[in-house]
Chains A and B, each alone.
Chain A
């Protein structure tokens, strides 16, 4: 299995050798410890994503997909291994620096949309830019610049006419589009997408996946976690996790095996 895994990664690396590295995980492990139990959620995960890639990570429930995505999104720390985003080692960063990188380099899209109900669509999206702190020498974004960025992100997801609506006035598919716009507005290095179609019917799910595909074609780097093999095929690179390890072939689902 290890030999097969290395071969796959070599092929990917070879194909992408001329692209800049966006995100690189080396020997990442995640262990959850309780008083009596030690659970290895991830074991020696190596992963390199290049700019412009569309990578899907799939696997059965409990295989470590969410743990991996949390580490990639700097929402959690690995127990071992190193992690670089756009060449910067982010494995050992403090809370504030991790928040800053999340704000500037990562865009999140979740299964449950995670929009703030009391804020308008515009404010939901603008929130990313409002939390952006300027360092000395940098220029603070003006309200006009924020407005332009938000409207640009909204037009990317074809939701420009819904800026003043509240999330609960929109359908699930529309809410996910808004969530995608929020992920895009800060011009991040990569979009981390967690089961984007999980709360949607197939029609809306297909539309969201088509949107993600079109964004990727326009140059957006995407790493998507899904257990849906149909949607995983939208990605150019399909990786599979099983019991916390990256494998080359899709793991056979328990249901399929029976």
Chain B
């Protein structure tokens, strides 16, 4: 039979069982929604390429303080990082970036804005797209950090809120703390800051010079990083060694090396993607596994429901078999009907998933990276179609398994001969057992995860934090004393 007629016949049949259709579609849609959202999240974090050109060749450069053979990647020595940036120009392209905050004094409400102090290479390494204007001006290839002018690039969002999207924004001045900057560019709306450099969306990008950090500062900071681009064929180990040599020289400069025999300062390069991802992949995989188990529990329920439906359809199947439908034609009939149901469920599930993704952005913004890129995409839609087809095939398989083709003739003479044969009790028991065991497994795993988390949360910090409050004071202007 042609697919068109099979679909029309299935729709006609399903119209007669609206409660069955609603229950099945609703049950599947809720659990599939969770699965699709979890898939989308995993796909973004584990597989989706970063939205930058040559993202595979981008690395985050950090200092690794090796003490007694143990790695320690923590605070970054300011002078060493700037030294690496200056001296590595001979063999790599790198951008140095300092995360900060400042008060936008030029705005009437004087809001605190997120800033990034960076070297000009940042824009070229990430191929940053501009809505208006461009990157900081340069004085040739040999420009030093200290040569930078007081220029600013602003985010699309700041442009819209503080400059009402005016095309005349380029050339206007903005003041952050006590420094005036000339606006030279507005970033494209779609540009996303790379994760490790920011904790919140950057609003103003400023030349690194104005961070106040210089090569002669020996203290460390946790807000300083470098972005490095390795050319095709360039050895990661070789570059790491060259950078480590710069660090070693910096460390021993003017210092008695014998005092640091058990300490080494080495360069550490991490792929930008891995650096952004961190260990969030494990979290998202657990979420995916949980939603999959949830789907399995719901599916066991759905199969039970479907088998009840099939037992009512046996006379129809018998009629079809009698007039010449082969076993595979009956399977096709069951498959088409199941597919209509699972596709319907998948459509509603995608709507639920879209809502769940919005919710995830709201509640997990500080926990998981790249959430601003989260959203239903082609891959998730293809995945949802694939899942719908697989579930439909499974339902049709269970339906075919529950119906004996050779015994269908019994349903043709239903005039008082007691032909309402039910689905095998073994199948029903198996389904109930699978539901109970899957639910039990999910509860067990959930309680184990919860217990571990509670232990972590309740673990004593070793310091008394009772009635202790953190206060952060930001000075908009530094009033300089004539004598100091």
Q: Interface residues, chain A, CB within 8 Å of chain B?
A: 66, 70, 73, 75-76, 95-96, 99-100, 102-104, 108, 110-112, 114-119, 123, 127-128, 130-133, 182, 186, 194-195, 198-199
CA distance A2 to B457 in the complex (A): 93
Contact residues in A for B15 (Cβ distance below 8 Å): 118
Q: Are B415 and A128 in contact (CB under 8 A)?
A: no
Q: Which residue of B lies closest to A97 (CB)?
A: B326
A131 partner, pick from B16, B315, B323, B327, beta carbons under 8 A: B323
In this complex, the interface size class of chain B, counting residues with CB under 8 Å from chain A, is 20 to 34
B329 partner, pick from A115, A116, A131, A186, beta carbons under 8 A: A131
The distance from the CB of B321 to the nearest CB of chain A, in whole angstroms, is 7
The distance from the CB of A118 to the nearest CB of chain B, in whole angstroms, is 4
Tell yes or no: B9 within 8 A of A by CB.
yes
Q: Are B322 and A108 in contact (CB under 8 A)?
A: yes
Knowing that A118-B9, A118-B12, A194-B413 are A-B contacts, what are 6 other residue pairs whose CB atoms are under 8 Å apart, sorted by A's residue number? A100-B326, A114-B319, A123-B9, A128-B323, A130-B5, A195-B415
Contact residues in A for B16 (Cβ distance below 8 Å): 117-118
Tell yes or no: B1 within 8 A of A by CB.
yes
The number of residue pairs between A and B whose CB atoms lie closer than 8 Å in the complex comes to: 79
The distance from the CB of A131 to the nearest CB of chain B, in whole angstroms, is 5
10 A-B residue contacts at CB 8 Å? A96-B326, A103-B323, A103-B324, A110-B413, A112-B412, A116-B319, A128-B324, A130-B2, A131-B325, A132-B324
A100-B324 contact, Cβ under 8 Å, with A130-B1, A130-B5: yes
Q: Are B12 and A119 in contact (CB under 8 A)?
A: yes
Q: Are B324 and A131 in contact (CB under 8 A)?
A: yes
Closest A-B pairs by Cβ, 7 of them:
A103-B324, A75-B409, A118-B12, A130-B1, A99-B326, A131-B324, A112-B415
CA distance A98 to B2 in the complex (A): 21
Tell yes or no: B201 within 8 A of A by CB.
no
Tell yes or no: B414 within 8 A of A by CB.
yes
Tell yes or no: B431 within 8 A of A by CB.
no
Q: Are A110 and B320 in contact (CB under 8 A)?
A: no
B9-35 vs A, CB cutoff 8 Å, 1 = contact: the mask equals 100110110000000000000000000
Q: Which residue of A lies closest to B12 (CB)?
A: A118
Tell yes or no: B53 within 8 A of A by CB.
no
A75-B412 contact, Cβ under 8 Å, with A99-B321, A119-B12: yes
Q: Which residue of A lies closest to B327 (CB)?
A: A95
Tell yes or no: B66 within 8 A of A by CB.
no
CA distance A73 to B5 in the complex (A): 26
CA distance A235 to B320 in the complex (A): 28
CA distance A258 to B315 in the complex (A): 38
Q: Which residue of A lies closest to B318 (CB)?
A: A114
Q: Which residue of B lies closest to A110 (CB)?
A: B412
CA distance A114 to B327 in the complex (A): 19
The distance from the CB of A34 to the nearest CB of chain B, in whole angstroms, is 15
Q: Which residue of A lies closest to B1 (CB)?
A: A130
Contact residues in B for A114 (Cβ distance below 8 Å): 315, 318-319, 322, 412
The distance from the CB of A211 to the nearest CB of chain B, in whole angstroms, is 20
A199-B415 contact, Cβ under 8 Å, with A76-B409, A116-B316: yes
Contact residues in B for A108 (Cβ distance below 8 Å): 322-323, 412
A99 partner, pick from B2, B315, B318, B325, beta carbons under 8 A: B325
Q: Are B415 and A102 in contact (CB under 8 A)?
A: no
Contact residues in A for B2 (Cβ distance below 8 Å): 130
A96-B327 contact, Cβ under 8 Å, with A112-B415, A118-B13, A198-B415: yes
Q: Looking at B2, B13, B415, which has the most chain A CB atoms within 10 Å of its CB?
A: B415
B308-348 vs A, CB cutoff 8 Å, 1 = contact: the mask equals 00000001101111111111010000000000000000000
CA distance A116 to B388 in the complex (A): 28
A131-B322 contact, Cβ under 8 Å, with A66-B413, A119-B9: no
CA distance A73 to B413 in the complex (A): 13
